[in-house]
DNA sequence: TCCAGGATTGGCCTTAGGGCCAACTACGGC
DNA sequence: GCCGTAGTTGGCCCTAAGGCCAATCCTGGA
């Protein structure tokens, strides 16, 4: 299996459920870390580690939706699968609108949970890939001088050096220099690559 | 209001509900068209007309999810808001995963429905905007000759005429001609515009 | 006060892209 | 057999982009 060894964070206050789901997920090849409360999970949570979360909706203290809101508002994209015994429709809809991967009712069917985990991990991989791409671009943009950033915007818009010079109140030769340095720093060789990178 | 006059398709087998919601939506400035069954709605449905659908989950014959599946499988992006009196969580989750805008329980709160309609119409506008853009690009791609399409791919990838010539087994001069004709047909003047268009 | 980084400009030369005119070849139809 | 479309190629010329070397000018700091 492709996701074998990926981490599944399990948050449920019922120890029997934790044992049961841990067993199920471990057997499927996942590494499981379980927590009995939202607070315990969040305080040990490292967004940098790939994986997904399987969260019981009703928890003592902060509940499952609270975990989701906390993660969402802190820009953490950890995919969440909710499981619940007592949920209602409005809650499930709110969870899904907030980006939950799935919302399962107890007793949880093994196949449904495993399928949801696969989807969640897929989404996590995709999110991380895109996040890394953005990071790379941001890092490169960060080392540009203000002038180079201006030139970048014009070049990406398809403007000619001569036109850019006019807009920025300088001469073509100067733009050529800024442009060349900007392209080096952005690590692209063609305008096409540049446009794809910053779009 | 920005969406005033937009069409809301209402599908519910209960005439009192239809009356009630029609009144609510009309008062808010929307044009409402109501249907008593999925079959009636679908047979009169024109995907080209902007708007959203408010659909009761339980209907005689094909139910609300059936409408959604029908539209989704025929690539129609009509935004759907479900309303239901007897739904369960798995159903609401399935609807949301299939792209429903919202899933409301009866009795429907006026504010919740109106808010959902605003979101649905926003999504519709966005979907149509994107669809038109794709249409435009497709139309232009359609009038390219096979050779021009090949050249387009290479140009968008940032390759030089000389390299493209090598790859396509011809000389640079020929590529220049294909390239110029391709750029005209795609209605772009710079490589940057081309990349943005086909990405 | 002197230095580094950033912005600027000039000259020179090479490569790349694109417009215009002309011409040839191949193929599918009428 | 003639015609239109698609693909090809050549020549000529001009503009755009980019590399290399050199040289100011200014400003925030050490």
pLDDT tens per residue, range A21-49: 999 999 999 999 999 999 999 999 999 99
Q: Does A2 have pLDDT greater than 80?
A: no
Relative to beta strand A80-84, strand B80-84 is unpaired
A interface with B, Cβ–Cβ below 8 Å: 84, 87-90, 92-93, 96-97, 102-103, 105, 155-158, 189-196, 199
Q: Report how far residue B86's alpha carbon sits from residue B84's, in angstroms, rounded to the nearest whole number.
A: 6
Scanning chain A, the segments in alpha helix (DSSP H) are 15-27, 38-44, 64-73, 89-97, 110-142, 146-156, 161-168, 172-186, 191-198
Average pLDDT over residues A152-168: 96
pLDDT at residue B3 is higher than 80: no
Nearest Cα neighbor of A175 from A183, A142, B194 is A183
Distance from the Cα of residue B2 to its chain's centroid: 19
Nearest to B92 among A89, A155, A190 (CB): A89
**Cα–Cα distance measured from residue A193 to residue B158, given in angstroms and rounded to the nearest whole number:** 7
Residues of chain B positioned with their CB less than 8 A from the CB of A89: 84, 87-89, 92, 103, 105
How far in angstroms lies nucleotide D23's C1' from the CA of residue B196? 39
pLDDT of residue A5: 80
Instruction: Tell me which residue of A46, A45, A50 sits closest to A125, measured CA to CA.
Output: A50
Q: In chain B, which residues touch A (CB < 8 A)?
A: 84, 87-90, 92-93, 96-97, 102-103, 105, 155-158, 189-196, 199
- Closest in B84, B157, B192 to A156, CB measured: B192
Nearest CA in chain B to A196: B195
Give me the half-sphere count of Cα atoms (radius 13 Å) on the Cβ side of residue B74: 11
With CA of B173 and C1' of each nucleotide, the nearest comes out as: D9
Minimum-distance CB partner of B105 among A90, A96, A158: A90
At residue A106 the predicted structure's pLDDT band, cuts being 50, 70 and 90, is confident
pLDDT, residue B106, reads 87
Order of all β-strands in the sheet with B102-105? B31-35, B7-11, B51-56, B80-84, B102-105
Select from A96, A118, A110, A11 the least CA-distant residue to A56.
Answer: A11
- Does the pLDDT value for residue A131 go beyond 70? yes
- Give the tokens for residue B188: 């772009």
In sequence order, the β-bridge partners of residue A8 are: A32, A52
Per-residue confidence band for B2, with pLDDT thresholds at 50, 70 and 90: low
**pLDDT at position A27, please?**
96
Which of A54, A50, A198, A71 is closest to A114 using CA atoms? A54
* In the predicted structure, residue B183 carries a pLDDT above the cut 80: yes
Could you tell me the pLDDT band of residue A147, with boundaries at 50, 70 and 90? Answer: very high
Task: Kindly report the pTM of this predicted structure.
Answer: 0.90
- The encoded tokens of residue A55 equal 């969260």
Tokens encoding A21 = 């789901």
What average pLDDT score do residues A14-21 get?
Answer: 96
Give the CA B185 to C1' D7 distance in Å: 17
Is residue B1's pLDDT more than 70?
no
| A89 with B87: Cβ contact below 8 A | yes
* Alpha-carbon span A10 to A41, nearest angstrom: 8
Instruction: List C-alpha distances in Å: B92 to A97, B18, B109, B191.
Output: 11, 21, 17, 46
A160 touches strand D (CB under 7 A): yes
Best of A183, A192, A193, A194 to mutate (most B CBs within 10 Å, chain B): A192
> What would the two tokens of residue B51 be?
């708007």
């Amino acid at each position: 299996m492709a996701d074998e060894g990926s981490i599944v964070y399990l948050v449920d206050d019922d120890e029997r459920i934790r044992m049961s789901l841990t067993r199920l997920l471990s057997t499927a090849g996942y590494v499981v870390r379980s927590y009995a409360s939202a607070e315990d999970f969040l305080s040990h949570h490292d967004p940098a580690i790939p994986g997904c979360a399987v969260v019981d909706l009703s928890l003592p203290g902060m509940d499952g939706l609270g975990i989701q809101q906390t993660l969402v508002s802190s820009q953490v994209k950890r995919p969440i699968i909710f499981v619940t015994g007592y949920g209602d429709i409005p809650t499930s809809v709110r969870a899904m609108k907030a980006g939950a991967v799935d919302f399962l009712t107890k007793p949880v069917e093994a196949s449904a949970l495993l399928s949801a985990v696969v989807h969640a991990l897929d989404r996590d991989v995709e999110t991380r890939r895109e996040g890394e791409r953005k990071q790379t671009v941001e890092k490169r943009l960060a080392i540009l001088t203000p002038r180079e950033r201006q030139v970048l915007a014009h070049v990406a818009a398809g403007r000619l050096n001569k036109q850019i010079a006019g807009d920025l109140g300088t001469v073509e030769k100067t733009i050529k220099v800024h442009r060349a340095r900007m392209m080096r720093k952005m690590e692209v060789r063609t305008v096409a690559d540049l446009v794809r990178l910053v779009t």
